[in-house]
Amino acid sequence: MKSWVSASTLAACLLSLLQCGCSSEPAKPEVYPVTGVVTQGGKPVDGARVLFVPDDQKLQPASAITDKDGKYSVTTFAQNDGAQPGSYKIKVLKYEGGPPPAPAGGQEQRFISYEEEQKAYKEETKPTPPAKNVLPKKYEYEDRSGLAHTVPTAPSTFDIKIE
């Protein structure tokens, strides 16, 4: 009887230790807000993708997409949370063209005739030109862009002027 109680107590202790070890998520590194504006010829660049590529491989990359005013706020782990402190090289891309975006879920469906369906199918199967980066090619590569920013342990701003 004594060995059964000891065995069950030991099993309960082991189980609780396993649960403690599995339930906690690893802590995410500290990040600090990085914001800025992307302009080209003095005008805001809408829909550009800004990528922060860390010099230190241990850091996570960060990215953002500019709004209609060219403003961006960097994301690493959660929306607009910022970037880890450290040095980054930056590339900026803006693609236009390519296939049309997929329709958003929940759109109302309508029934179409066979002729409309055939016409739509022919349009969908036409080859579409690939999307094209409309910014100067040098900004496509972080090593050639000439853009760099050191993220401090505080919020920072980095404005980007595309030549």
Q: Give the DSSP per-residue string, 51-89.
A: EEEESSTTSPPEEEE--TTSEEE-BSSSTT--B-SEEEE
Residue 140 domain-assigned? yes
**CA-CA distance, 79 to 68, in Å (whole number)?**
18
Whole-number pLDDT of residue 49: 96
- What's the CA gap between 85 and 155, in Å, rounded? 10
Cα angle value 129/133/136 (rounded, 5°): 140
> What is the spatial distance between Cα 52 and Cα 84, in angstroms, rounded to a whole number?
10
In a domain, 75, yes or no: yes
Is residue 91 domain-resident? Answer: yes
CA 153 – CA 87 distance, rounded (Å)? 12
**What backbone phi and psi angles, to 5 degrees, belong to 161?**
-110, 115
Say what the pLDDT of residue 87 is: 98
Predicted structure pTM score: 0.69
Q: What residues make up the domain containing 66?
A: 28-98+128-162
In the prediction, which pLDDT does 22 show?
54
User: What is d(CA 59, CA 82) in angstroms, rounded to the nearest whole number?
Assistant: 12
In the predicted model, residues of the chain with pLDDT beneath 50 are 1, 4-5, 103-107
Asked whether residue 112 is domain-assigned, the answer is no
Residue 15 maps to a domain: no
Domain membership flag for residue 2: no
pLDDT of 122 reads 74
DSSP 101: P
Tokens 């910014």, residue?
Answer: 135
Number of domains in the chain: 1
What CATH number is associated with residue 138? 2.60.40.10
Residue 16 covered by a domain: no
- The answer to whether residue 106 sits within a structural domain is no
